[in-house]
Structure 1
Amino acid sequence: METNENLVEVLNDLVRINNDRIDGYEKAIKETEDIDLDLKGIFQKMANESRENVTELSAEIASLGGEVATGTTNSGKIYRVWMDIKATFTGHDRASVLESCEYGEDAAQEAYDDALATDTDLPVNIRQIITDQKAELLESHNLIKKYRDLHQAVN
């Protein structure tokens, strides 16, 4: 039973970082200038991506007999990064928002790296889910980085 509890905790850590990511991007959508419709669309896509991740992770947690973490994190590990990012959006320009998002995406990658490196035995199907989600989030990270670099090159 302990293995399931440890596995549920690993998966709940990923639920939390995705919940933080959803909140961070929802805040970014609200704070981004109306002229930056491209960013609003990207941020919405990324929030939806994390919603799908949470749904997939929640199904695995439920199948293990665990209780799915709700809400976002407000202490511990790397989750504070998204909390800090959400606080920085107000009054910042496009470059600052993109830099903050990239930093948050780095935190998400770290959370997924931690999950894959855990001492807890990860069944093949769960390891595949985590690997697939990490790869999808890396594409989002790279897109944010590309937009940031393009913005810096133009300015």
Structure 2
Amino acid sequence: MDNMQNNLGEFLNNLIEINNDRIEGYEKAITLLPKDENLGLKALFEGYRDQSIKFKAEITPFVVQQGETPSDETRTSGKLFRAWMSIKSAVDPFSSHAILESCERGEDEFINVYNDAMKESAQLPMDLLVVLQSQASEQFKAHNHIKQLRDTTPR
């Protein structure tokens, strides 16, 4: 961002929105899980949903410091993807493997948004940077776990 000081609230709300997407994405994934084949995925998805709730809570004070209201919106791409998942599941129920693939796509998008945020690291307050680096690290582990599960779950 050209003038990070003037855009910090917007920058942070973008991070809140990707977390809102992640929360809603895992909520949707929970509803799509096959009743007889969840492999403990419901608890895992609830944990990653709760992780993003925690991330939002950590970012919110920085948004408020900027005189902004934390966003309760999601990104358009996330809304479209969840709508597509709903339509597809009505026609052809998802397997655990397909749900994990969808979750991995959401985790990939999260990584992209946080990677873009890290490009601004030189302009961010140190206390905020520490929070964002910690969140990115935790989420990267979640991404790798989802990917590993996807790779080992039958189609």
Give the structure 1 partner of residue 85 of structure 2: 88
In the superposition, the TM-score normalised over structure 1's length comes to 0.86
Q: One-letter code of the match for 1:18? A: N
Q: CA deviation at 1:33?
A: 1.4
8 Å contact kept, 1:22–1:51: yes
Give the structure 1 partner of residue 52 of structure 2: 50
Mapped to 2, the partners of 1:44 and 1:13 lie a distance apart of: 22
- 1:27 and 2:24 equivalent? no
Q: One-letter code of the match for 2:49? A: A
Closer, same or farther: CA 54–83 of 1 in aligned 2, 3 Å: farther
Question: Structure 1: where are the runs of 5+ without partners?
Answer: 75-79
8 Å contact kept, 2:19–2:52: yes
Q: CA deviation at 1:119?
A: 7.9
Mapped to 2, the partners of 1:44 and 1:129 lie a distance apart of: 22
Question: Structure 2: where are the runs of 5+ without partners?
Answer: none
In the superposition, the TM-score normalised over structure 2's length comes to 0.86
- 1:144 and 2:146 equivalent? yes
Identity %: 32
Q: CA deviation at 1:12?
A: 0.7
Give the structure 2 partner of residue 100 of structure 1: 102
Mapped to 1, the partners of 2:45 and 2:123 lie a distance apart of: 34
Closer, same or farther: CA 123–65 of 1 in aligned 2, 3 Å: same
Give the structure 1 partner of residue 61 of structure 2: 59
From 22, 40, 43, give the equivalent of 2:42: 40
Mapped to 2, the partners of 1:39 and 1:86 lie a distance apart of: 21
Q: One-letter code of the match for 2:84? A: A
Give the structure 1 partner of residue 116 of structure 2: 114
Q: One-letter code of the match for 2:13? A: N
Closer, same or farther: CA 51–146 of 1 in aligned 2, 3 Å: same
